[in-house]
Amino acid sequence: MESENKTGVAEFLLLGFSEDAELQPVLFGLFLTVYLVTILGNLLIILAVSCDPHLHTPMYFFLSSLSLADIGFSSTTVLKMLLNIQAQSKSISYSGCLTQVGFVLFFAGVENFLLAAMAYDRCVAICHPLRYAVIMRPGFCSQLVLLSLTISVGDALLHSLMVLQLSFCRDLEIPQFFCDLAQVIKLACSDTLINTILMYVVTSLLGGVPLLGIIFSYIQIVSCVLRIPSAGGKYKAFSTCGCHLSVVALFYGTAFGVYISSALTHSSTDFAIASMMYTVVPPMLNPFIYSLRNRDMRGALRKLL
């Protein structure tokens, strides 16, 4: 198989979901609807938090940051696919593919750390309510968000620069609707051992540490709630965590689903569908989870609308 040097690669081909010409208008309409719902829902969350003084708390500050990350995540993956369907093309330039890889890693990392920060916020609110205002002060919350941004930028730049060192073969078909880091590395003709090891080590660290933080926070929350004597107090404490738990389950559940599907299926269509559940569905559903299950958010949205 012929190979090209690092600068000679013109473009990659995103295979997407189907090559059937009759399905393309259906796919375009479906994903355009999903994208518009995602953008509108998350913008409403951001506007509601910004306009309602009652929501100027750490929990909703993290929520609005999560909505911004969801908008970026969805825009990074879905917009290029919509443009390709409209243009009846599957191509993405070499630089465009590397840029997309970087932004996907960045927004996924930001969401990961923000979910951990939100879990810590709920832990402090339930286990240390009298010290909540002192611990979760605005400056500290901003530092947590800035830390998540910094680490995610570093992760995205590291992997993107490592991919730049690879040379690629002529067969540059990616069985996805966006440039996925693992799939791009598989297409390389040069030695990818360092890239593969780095990908698994960094992903395990940056994915595992926040997840362990979330688990530890909820162990503390359950321990504190069980010491509350009244059933009403227990229900009230748990109810403040319901939305966050739903979002965590959706985010990590779909991520593990993509990992399992990549190991079990060899069908590009099945893998693309599994990846869609991780990259497209959670950003769309997160605003509904918080607006439907959170009384304060429902009130703020009613005032806004």
Question: For residues 44 and 284, is the Cβ–Cβ distance under 8 A?
Answer: no
Ranked by mean pLDDT, which of 103-112, 202-211, 279-288 comes out on top?
A: 103-112
Flag whether pLDDT at 3 surpasses 70.
Answer: no
**Dist. CA 137–CA 183, nearest whole Å:** 42
Q: Which residue has the tokens 């698994």?
A: 200
Q: What pLDDT does 267 receive?
A: 62
Average pLDDT for 37-44: 93
Tokens linked to 120: 């810590």
Question: For residues 59 and 12, is the Cβ–Cβ distance under 8 A?
Answer: no
> pLDDT class for 146, splitting at 50, 70, 90?
very high
What does DSSP assign to residue 293?
H
Query: Percent of the chain having pLDDT more than 70?
Result: 92
For residue 36, CA distances in Å to 41, 78, 211, 222 come to 8, 10, 30, 38
Per-residue pLDDT reduced to its tens digit, 160-189: 999 998 888 777 888 888 898 988 998 888
Supply the mean pLDDT for the chain.
86
Q: What pLDDT does 63 receive?
A: 92
Per-residue pLDDT reduced to its tens digit, 207-261: 899 999 999 999 999 998 888 787 777 777 777 788 888 889 888 888 887 777 6
Average pLDDT for 11-21: 79
Mark residue 29 as left, alpha or beta (left: phi above 0; alpha: psi -120 to 50; beta: remaining): alpha
Domains of the chain: 10-304 (1.20.1070.10)
SS3 (DSSP) at 147: helix
Strand ranges, E, within the chain: 3-4, 11-14, 91-93, 168-169, 173-174
> pLDDT class for 15, splitting at 50, 70, 90?
confident
Tokens linked to 98: 């590397």
> pLDDT class for 88, splitting at 50, 70, 90?
confident
Mark residue 45 as left, alpha or beta (left: phi above 0; alpha: psi -120 to 50; beta: remaining): alpha
The amino acid at 297? M
Average pLDDT for 133-141: 94
Average pLDDT for 83-87: 88
Other Cβ atoms within 10 Å of 66 Cβ, number: 27
> pLDDT class for 1, splitting at 50, 70, 90?
very low
Flag whether pLDDT at 272 surpasses 80.
Answer: no
**Dist. CA 75–CA 85, nearest whole Å:** 15
Q: What pLDDT does 225 receive?
A: 86
* 191 compared with 265, residue with greater pLDDT: 191
Average pLDDT for 278-287: 87
Flag whether pLDDT at 284 surpasses 50.
Answer: yes
> pLDDT class for 198, splitting at 50, 70, 90?
very high
Concatenate the DSSP letters of all residues of 199-220 into one string: HHHHHHHHHHHHHHHHHHHHHH
Q: What pLDDT does 8 receive?
A: 56
* 271 compared with 28, residue with greater pLDDT: 28
Average pLDDT for 89-102: 90
What does DSSP assign to residue 305?
-
Give the sheet arrangement for strand 173-174, strand by strand.
91-93, 11-14, 173-174
Q: What pLDDT does 268 receive?
A: 64
